[in-house]
């Protein structure tokens, strides 16, 4: 069955199952029906012998000439024998004359004639006028001639046709039921062939209304195609952005190295620029590697107990030096002894990225506030500035790689900082959110589970 379709496999299996069940039912009916018919035949035989015996006892020695004694009735043959076993009166089926068993009081014997049909023989011995008399009854098994047997034989003849009709009908029903699955297969094959990820599996109205398994299967495929299309578009954009971001430092390195080779006096200055661009490329590659590991689930965290209060103090002190160039003051509101579980280096990178952005896009002579508090079992860290802010349409996109709002295009950076913040925060089981208004500043809020 390896190469058969699911429709054919289902049809074959339920046909076999139906044959088995129907066969068992028919066998049970035949067996119980024949058993009941045999019991009925034996009951009729014993009653007929008992009636004949009573009739003989009533008339005594005159029973032989009694016209009321019936030697064949309701299929039962009655015969009378003397004490020596000699036939006195009655009838015996011709096909049984040569195979009749010896007389045996109150015992039912079963014999078969030449055609294989079963007969029952029952004998009764009693005394009349000081003489022993045998009454023998013979009857054919009712099971051989009953209406039930005729019906069973008719069913046996019609059974193959019924099975074929049921199998054909089942195949048609199953094929119709699996038609949406074939549509899904065809759609997937078409998408595979032409690479058009915008196509979706068509869902018929009847499956939408019933919300059945076919609807869920098609919906699952469509969700998968949505994610694939989104991922593919992101990969295209990612490739384009990486090419763009690497093109500039590579061009600088190549041009400066050419100048250095031609002009010895310019060589030291060129090396400085080359070193700066190489470090910028190294930072970019390291960030991309971190994001790639995060996407694939291979980002390894060296988790330990981290004093987040202390880390926030260190980051604030470090950024205070950078903020002096723009006359930005760093203010803190840090609760003490807040501990979380995580990778201290990566947590520091999260806070440095947020603080660096706050200083970079903050208003000159303004301030940046770093605060930390415990709320509902979480360490809540916020970084707030009073700078240029972010427009509402950009808020959902700032977490995308290489995305940079128009107001920040003139600043240095590859647009990976916030993408890294989101990835590293998620790796620590936390969350990050932002509120912002253009011209009024931004507030980034990071939450980490408290260590217990």
pLDDT tens per residue, range 329-364: 999 999 999 999 998 988 988 999 899 989 988 888
Q: Which of 39, 100, 48 is nearest to 71 (CA)?
A: 48
Q: What per-residue string of b and e applies to 230-243 under the rule 16 or more CB within 10 Å gives b?
A: eeeeeeeebeebbe
The sign of the CA dihedral 164, 166, 169, 170 is: negative
SS3 of the chain: helix, strand, coil, percent, to 5: 60, 20, 25
* Contact of 372 with 337, CB cutoff 8 Å: no
CB-based burial label for 157 (10 Å; 0-12, 13-18, 19+): exposed
CB pairs under 8 A, 24+ apart, for 226-230? Answer: 228/197, 229/197, 229/198
Indicate whether 374 pLDDT > 90: yes
**pLDDT of the residue at 331:** 93
**pLDDT of the residue at 150:** 60
Q: Which of 337, 272, 342 is nearest to 310 (CA)?
A: 337
Q: Which residues contact 151 (CB under 8 A, 6 or more apart)?
A: none
Rounded CA-CA distance 250/244 in Å is 10
Q: If one looks up domain 196-299 in CATH, what number appears? A: 1.10.287.130
Tracing tokens 């609807």 back to the chain, one arrives at 215
Indicate whether 372 pLDDT > 50: yes
402's torsion region: left (phi>0), alpha (psi -120 to 50) or beta? left
Q: What is the mean pLDDT of residues 370-381?
A: 94
CB pairs under 8 A, 24+ apart, for 21-29? Answer: 22/159, 22/163, 26/152, 26/155, 26/156, 26/159, 29/152
pLDDT, greater one: 76 or 217: 76
**pLDDT of the residue at 410:** 43
Reduce the secondary structure of 69-95 to three states and give it as a string.
Answer: CCCEECCEEEEEEECCCCEEEECCCHH
**pLDDT of the residue at 85:** 83
Rounded CA-CA distance 424/290 in Å is 9
Containing H/E element for 3?
none
Q: Which of 108, 113, 110, 109 is nearest to 98 (CA)?
A: 113
Q: Which of 447, 309, 324, 437 is nearest to 385 (CA)?
A: 437
Indicate whether 137 pLDDT > 60: yes
The answer to whether domain 6-149 and domain 196-299 are alike in fold is no
Q: Which of 350, 348, 352, 342 is nearest to 302 (CA)?
A: 342
Distances (CA, A) of 272 to 96, 250, 256, 266, 275: 125, 14, 9, 10, 5
Banded pLDDT at 306 (limits 50, 70, 90)? very high
**pLDDT of the residue at 397:** 84
Rounded CA-CA distance 262/112 in Å is 123
**pLDDT of the residue at 12:** 77
Indicate whether 388 pLDDT > 50: yes
pLDDT, one tens digit per residue, over 66-84 is 555 677 777 888 888 888 8
Tracing tokens 């002009």 back to the chain, one arrives at 263
* Mean pLDDT lowest among 123-137, 218-232, 397-411: 397-411
Question: Could you give phi then psi for residue 437, rounded to 5 degrees?
Answer: -135, 135
Rounded CA-CA distance 436/434 in Å is 7
**pLDDT of the residue at 208:** 56
Tracing tokens 């064949």 back to the chain, one arrives at 72
Give the angle 394-397-398 at the CA atoms, nearest 5°.
Answer: 85
**pLDDT of the residue at 64:** 53
Looking at every residue in the chain, the average pLDDT score rounds to 80
pLDDT, greater one: 1 or 378: 378
Q: What is the mean pLDDT of residues 189-198?
A: 78
* Domain range list for the chain: 6-149, 196-299, 304-449
**pLDDT of the residue at 313:** 94
Indicate whether 60 pLDDT > 70: no
To the nearest 10 degrees (0 to 180), the angle between helices 264-296 and 417-427 is 40
* Contact of 174 with 10, CB cutoff 8 Å: yes
Q: If one looks up domain 6-149 in CATH, what number appears? A: 3.30.450
Q: What is the mean pLDDT of residues 100-124?
A: 85
Q: If one looks up domain 304-449 in CATH, what number appears? A: 3.30.565.10
């Amino acid at each position: 069955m390896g190469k058969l379709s699911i429709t054919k496999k289902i049809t074959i299996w339920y046909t076999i199952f139906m044959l088995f069940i129907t066969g068992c039912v028919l066998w049970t009916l035949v067996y119980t029906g024949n058993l009941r018919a045999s019991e009925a035949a034996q009951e009729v035989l014993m009653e007929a012998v008992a009636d004949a015996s009573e009739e003989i006892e009533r008339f005594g020695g005159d029973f032989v000439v009694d016209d009321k004694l019936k030697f064949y009735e309701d299929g039962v043959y009655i015969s009378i024998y003397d004490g020596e076993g000699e036939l006195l009166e009655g009838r015996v089926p011709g096909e049984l004359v040569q195979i009749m068993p010896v007389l045996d009081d109150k015992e039912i014997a079963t014999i078969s004639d030449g055609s294989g049909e079963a007969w029952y023989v029952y004998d009764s011995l009693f005394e009349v006028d000081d003489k022993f008399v045998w009454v023998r009854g013979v009857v054919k098994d009712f099971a051989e001639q009953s209406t039930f047997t005729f019906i069973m034989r008719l069913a046996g003849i019609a059974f193959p046709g019924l099975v074929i009709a049921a199998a054909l009908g089942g195949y048609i029903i199953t094929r119709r039921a699996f038609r949406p699955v074939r549509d899904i297969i065809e759609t997937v094959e078409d998408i595979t062939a032409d690479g058009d990820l915008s196509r979706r599996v068509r869902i018929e109205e009847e499956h939408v209304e019933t919300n059945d398994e076919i609807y869920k299967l098609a919906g699952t495929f469509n969700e998968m195609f949505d994610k694939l299309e989104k991922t593919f578009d992101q990969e295209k954009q990612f490739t384009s952005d990486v090419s763009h971001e690497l093109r500039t430092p590579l061009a600088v390195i190549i041009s400066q190295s050419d100048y250095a080779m031609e002009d010895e006096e310019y060589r030291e200055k060129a090396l400085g620029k080359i070193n700066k661009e190489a470090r910028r490329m190294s930072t970019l590659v390291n960030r991309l590697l971190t994001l790639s590991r995060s996407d694939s689930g291979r980002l390894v965290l060296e988790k330990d107990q981290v004093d987040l209060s202390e880390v926030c103090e260190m980051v604030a002190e470090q950024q205070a030096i950078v903020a002096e160039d723009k006359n930005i003051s760093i203010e803190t509101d840090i609760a003490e002894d807040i501990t979380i579980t995580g990778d201290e280096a990566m947590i520091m990178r999260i806070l440095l990225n947020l603080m660096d952005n706050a200083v970079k896009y903050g208003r000159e002579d303004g301030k940046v506030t770093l605060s930390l508090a415990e709320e509902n079992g979480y360490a809540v860290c916020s970084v707030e500035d009073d700078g240029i802010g972010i427009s509402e349409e950009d808020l959902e996109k700032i977490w995308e790689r290489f995305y940079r709002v128009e107001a920040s295009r003139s600043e240095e950076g590859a647009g990976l900082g916030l993408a890294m913040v989101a990835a590293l925060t998620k790796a620590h089981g936390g969350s990050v959110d932002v509120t912002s208004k253009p011209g009024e500043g931004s507030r980034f809020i990071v939450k980490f589970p408290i260590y217990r």
